[in-house]
Chain A
Amino acid sequence: MRKSYGDPIAEDLRYVVKSVVGEENFIDMIPNRSNNYCCGGGGGFLQSGYKEQRLEYGRLKDAQIKATGADYCIAGCHNCHAQIHELSEHYGSNYPVVHMWTLICLSLGILGPNEREYLGDDLKEVLVFHPESAM
């Protein structure tokens, strides 16, 4: 979205994230906005077969995420989610990587037991909607 419309439109997403997790719980990574680094999941890299190089590309992103000290990383699209999730495991930090929709529904109290694949243990059991429907 930022690529097509520039930084101001991405501020709308910051508004959403802050509303969901609370202003004080939001930590921007550095550098951010258009100065930020790509995670390495884009451009077809995920399917290119160059796995070692892809993980090396993502080293910078992983370090950036760790430096925030945040408990969770939110990924904006599927490619980024897959890549950052793998970085989190590969480089050993194991921070959970979540989709935006997961956190929005969690904050609204409508996230069911089978929609929590990517939440960490600290949130897995929090505010479960219809726990009896667990599969």
Chain B
Amino acid sequence: MAEEAIKLGREKKSIFIDKVKELIPDGGNLNLCLTCGACSSGCPATGLEGMDPRKFLRMAALGLDEEIVASNWPWMCTMCQRCVYVCPMKIDIPQLVFNARTLRPREERPKGILGSCDMALRNDSGSAMGTSPEDFDFVVGDVLEEYQESQPEFADMQAPIDKQGAEFFLNQNSREPVTEPDEMVPLWKILHLAGADWTYGSKGWGGENYCLFLADNESWEKLTRNTAGQASALGCTTYLNTE
């Protein structure tokens, strides 16, 4: 019989899950898992890369940080929150996943997301396609004019950029102005018929925010402040996020 209790492993170092617990309200309840599996059974990412949300949480709880860093699964969870909704303990797995994305150096995160974030940081648009405010202004003006002429019932329709004092600030996914500009028009028509006083912003019109998905918090905040700041500067009272 052993005289002393057997000690397992090394000194407990600061592990990933503890850091996340400090970051989020109520520690995300990350300690409370009953291992019931409700999260995994309804998660569309279950099975990808041999992973599922319950397993991911267990790995974090066991301090298997290296394995977590090595896994690509955090990029396959969409952070949809369905697991939180069904969890009896309201455990915030998506926050754990989001923070797991930060464990890799920025340059080693998925190229497509990284590139989209960098594009958005290139100019004031905040567009993941790197489109400049000038190009956006040109496309919007051009398309508007074309429709005012070809559909005279909408001759008075507007699609303003930086209209001071407008009630609504509207953002726009970049794919429309860049690749399918006609798709912007139906929404303009609806806003026109509804009598909405709205505007785009020359700054921060891009609706997508890939820096958020990249888990580059500083850049995410920068883009968000850029667009929210423009809405405030214009005196808009409601921010309409189309994404």
Which residues of A does B touch, CB under 8 Å?
3, 34-38, 40-45, 47-50, 53-54, 56-61, 77-79, 82, 99, 101-102, 104-105, 108, 110-112, 114-115, 117, 129-130, 133
Bound CA span A45–B44, Å: 13
B44 and A78 contacting across the interface, CB-CB below 8 Å: no
* Interface membership of B189, Cβ < 8 A: yes
From B75, B79, B183, give the contact of A99 (CB < 8 A). B183
A38 and B82 contacting across the interface, CB-CB below 8 Å: yes
Min CB gap B101→A, angstroms:
9
Contacts of A101 in B (CB 8 A): 186-187, 190
* Interface membership of B21, Cβ < 8 A: no
A-B contact pairs, 8 of them (CB 8 A): A47-B112, A50-B110, A54-B76, A56-B47, A78-B208, A112-B150, A115-B182, A115-B183
A114 and B182 contacting across the interface, CB-CB below 8 Å: yes
Given contacts A47-B112, A115-B185, contact A78 B173 (CB under 8 A): yes
Which residues of B does A touch, CB under 8 Å?
42, 44-45, 47-49, 72, 75-82, 85-86, 110-113, 115-116, 128, 147, 150-151, 153-154, 173, 175-176, 180, 182-183, 185-187, 189-190, 193, 207-208, 210, 212-214, 242-243
Interface centre among A40, A41, A53, A56 (most CB of B within 10 A): A53
From A37, A42, A78, give the contact of B207 (CB < 8 A). A78
Contacts of A50 in B (CB 8 A): 72, 75-76, 110
Chain B residue at minimal CB-CB distance from A56: B48
Bound CA span A48–B243, Å: 18
B72 and A57 contacting across the interface, CB-CB below 8 Å: no
Identify 11 new A-B residue pairs, CB closer than 8 A, beyond the known A57-B44, A99-B186: A38-B78, A44-B75, A47-B116, A50-B75, A50-B76, A53-B76, A60-B44, A101-B186, A112-B150, A115-B183, A117-B180
